[in-house]
Structure 1
Amino acid sequence: MKNRLSILFNRLTDVPTDFPDNARRQKILNILIVSIFFLTALAIILILALQNLVSLGLQGNEFYLAFVVLIGLAIVYFINRSKHLPSWLASFLFLVFLSAAFAYTDTPEQLANGRSLFVFTIPVIMSSMLLVPAASFLFAGLVTVELIIISNVSSVVPNGFAIGGFFLVAVVTWLSARSLEQAIKDLRVVNAELDQRVVERTSELATALSRETVEAGRREAILNSIADGVIVFDRTGTAILSNPSITNLVNKSQTEIIGKGLSDLLDSEDVKASDRVSLAALLEKSAQNLSNLRVKWGRKTLSVNAAEVRDGASQAIGTVAVFRDFTREAELEQMKNTFIAIVSHELRTPLNAILGYAEMLKEAVYGQINEKQKSVSGRIMTNTQRLLGIVSDLLDQAQIEAGKLKIQMIPCKPAELLDNIHGVMEKTASDKNLSLILKLDPAMDTTIIGDPQRLQQIMVNLTNNAVKFTDSGSVQVKVAPVGTKNWQIQTIDTGNGIPQDALEYIFETFRQVDGMSTRQHGGVGLGLSIVKQLVELMNGKITVESEIGKGSTFTVTLPLITHNGSPTVPSTKQE
Structure 2
Amino acid sequence: MGSRYSNIRAAILAGAAALMLILAGGGATSWWVLDNGITQRNMVSHTHAVIDTLLETQVGVMEAVGERNQALTTGGQNSNLDTVLELTRELTTTLRRLVADSPVQTRRAAKFEDALDRLALVLRNSVEERRQGLPQDLTALVREAGQMRRQLKQMCDEMIEHERALLAARKEQAGATVGWLVWLFGALLAFALLSGGLGLLALYRHLRGSAERYEALERSQREIEAAHAALTASQGRLRSILDHARDPILLVDSRSEVAVANAAASQQFGLPAEDMVGRPIQDFVPAYGTRSGEVTALRPDGTTFPADISVGSYADAEGNASVCVLRDVTERRRLEQLKSEFVSTVSHELRTPLTSIRASLGLVVGGVAGELSDEVRELLEIAHNNSERLVLLVNDILDMEKIESGRLEFRRERQDARRLLEQAVEANRAYGAQFGVGFALQVEEAGDAAVYADATRIQQVLANLLSNAAKFSPQGGTVEVSLASDAGSVTFCVRDHGKGIPPEFRDRIFQRFAQADSSDVRQKGGTGLGLSISKAIVEHHAGAIGFEDAADGGTTFWFTLPRLAERLTRLQAAEAPATSQGRRRALVVEDDADVALLLSRILGQHGWDSEVARNAAEAFESLDRAHFDAMTLDLMLPDEDGLSLFRRLRQRPDGRALPVIVISAIAERGKVQLNGDAVGVVDWLDKPIDQFRLREALRQALHSSDRPARILHVEDDQDILRVVSAVMGDEAEMIAARSLTDARTILSRDQNFALVIVDVGLPDGSGLDLLAEMRNLPKPPPVLIFSASDYDPGTARHVAASLVKSRTANQELHNTIRHLIESLPPTPAPEAASRENLP
Q: Aligned-pair distance for 1:334?
A: 0.7
Q: Which amino acid aligns with 1:266?
A: S
Q: Aligned-pair distance for 1:336?
A: 0.6
Residue 340 (str. 1) matches residue 346 (str. 2): yes
SS across alignment from 2:559: strand
Long gaps (5+) in structure 1? 1-20, 25-124, 145-166, 234-238, 272-297, 308-316, 565-575
Equivalences for residues 64-213 of structure 1 within 5 A: 129=176, 131=178, 135=182, 137-141=184-188, 182=205, 185-199=208-222, 201-202=223-224, 204-213=226-235
Whole-angstrom distance in 1 between the partners of 2:525 and 2:435: 17
Whole-angstrom distance in 2 between the partners of 1:444 and 1:179: 103
Whole-angstrom distance in 1 between the partners of 2:221 and 2:454: 74
The answer to whether the Cα contact below 8 Å between 1:470 and 1:494 also exists between their aligned partners in 2 is: yes
Counterpart of 1:499 in structure 2 is 502
* Residue deviations 1:39-60 (CA, integer Å, cap 9, x gap): xxxxxxxxxxxxxxxxxxxxxx
Q: Aligned-pair distance for 1:327?
A: 1.6
Q: Aligned-pair distance for 1:419?
A: 0.4
Equivalences for residues 161-310 of structure 1 within 5 A: 182=205, 185-199=208-222, 201-202=223-224, 204-223=226-245, 226=246, 228-229=247-248, 255-256=281-282, 264-266=290-292
Q: Aligned-pair distance for 1:367?
A: 4.8
Q: Aligned-pair distance for 1:483?
A: 6.5
The answer to whether the Cα contact below 8 Å between 1:425 and 1:464 also exists between their aligned partners in 2 is: yes
- Give 2:517's match in structure 1, choosing from 514, 519, 543: 514
Q: Which amino acid aligns with 1:332?
A: L
Q: Aligned-pair distance for 1:375?
A: 4.3
Q: Aligned-pair distance for 1:260?
A: 12
Q: Which amino acid aligns with 2:352?
A: E
Q: Which amino acid aligns with 1:358?
A: V
The answer to whether the Cα contact below 8 Å between 2:490 and 2:563 also exists between their aligned partners in 1 is: yes
Whole-angstrom distance in 2 between the partners of 1:477 and 1:332: 42
Counterpart of 1:528 in structure 2 is 531
Change (3 A) 1:390 1:208: same
Whole-angstrom distance in 2 between the partners of 1:260 and 1:181: 72
Change (3 A) 1:436 1:319: farther
Whole-angstrom distance in 2 between the partners of 1:187 and 1:415: 96
The answer to whether the Cα contact below 8 Å between 2:251 and 2:261 also exists between their aligned partners in 1 is: yes
Q: Which amino acid aligns with 2:339?
A: E
Of 340-349 and 209-218, deviating more is: 209-218
Whole-angstrom distance in 2 between the partners of 1:353 and 1:541: 36
Change (3 A) 1:214 1:244: closer
* Residue deviations 1:174-215 (CA, integer Å, cap 9, x gap): 99997787566435423423422432x245425523532432
Residue 353 (str. 1) matches residue 356 (str. 2): no
Long gaps (5+) in structure 2? 1-36, 41-171, 253-257, 270-275, 298-302, 313-321, 568-839
Whole-angstrom distance in 2 between the partners of 1:389 and 1:262: 49
- Give 2:410's match in structure 1, choosing from 407, 432, 435: 407
Of 385-394 and 521-530, deviating more is: 385-394
Counterpart of 1:538 in structure 2 is 541
The answer to whether the Cα contact below 8 Å between 1:351 and 1:388 also exists between their aligned partners in 2 is: no
* Residue deviations 1:492-530 (CA, integer Å, cap 9, x gap): 333233334434444343443322134312233332232
Residue 460 (str. 1) matches residue 463 (str. 2): yes
Of 423-432 and 172-181, deviating more is: 172-181
Change (3 A) 1:464 1:370: same
Of 133-142 and 389-398, deviating more is: 133-142
Which has the greater radius of gyration?
1
Whole-angstrom distance in 2 between the partners of 1:359 and 1:256: 69
Counterpart of 1:475 in structure 2 is 479
* Residue deviations 1:469-511 (CA, integer Å, cap 9, x gap): 2336553444444763x54444333323333443444434344
* Residue deviations 1:53-92 (CA, integer Å, cap 9, x gap): xxxxxxxxxxxxxxxxxxxxxxxxxxxxxxxxxxxxxxxx
Q: Which amino acid aligns with 1:198?
A: Q
Q: Aligned-pair distance for 1:346?
A: 0.3
Whole-angstrom distance in 2 between the partners of 1:127 and 1:212: 46
Whole-angstrom distance in 1 between the partners of 2:261 and 2:535: 39
The answer to whether the Cα contact below 8 Å between 1:300 and 1:327 also exists between their aligned partners in 2 is: no
Q: Which amino acid aligns with 2:221?
A: V
Counterpart of 2:424 in structure 1 is 421
- Between the aligned residues of both structures, percent identity stands at 22
Q: Aligned-pair distance for 1:373?
A: 4.9
Whole-angstrom distance in 1 between the partners of 2:265 and 2:561: 42
Residue 448 (str. 1) matches residue 451 (str. 2): yes
Change (3 A) 1:493 1:352: same
Whole-angstrom distance in 2 between the partners of 1:131 and 1:367: 136
Whole-angstrom distance in 2 between the partners of 1:323 and 1:332: 17
SS across alignment from 2:356: helix
Whole-angstrom distance in 1 between the partners of 2:183 and 2:249: 77
Change (3 A) 1:515 1:230: farther
SS across alignment from 1:470: coil
Change (3 A) 1:335 1:302: farther
CA root-mean-square deviation: 5.3
Change (3 A) 1:437 1:181: farther
Whole-angstrom distance in 2 between the partners of 1:133 and 1:422: 118
Of 525-534 and 403-412, deviating more is: 525-534
Change (3 A) 1:495 1:198: farther
Counterpart of 1:330 in structure 2 is 336
The answer to whether the Cα contact below 8 Å between 1:232 and 1:318 also exists between their aligned partners in 2 is: yes
Whole-angstrom distance in 2 between the partners of 1:409 and 1:299: 45
Whole-angstrom distance in 2 between the partners of 1:187 and 1:332: 79
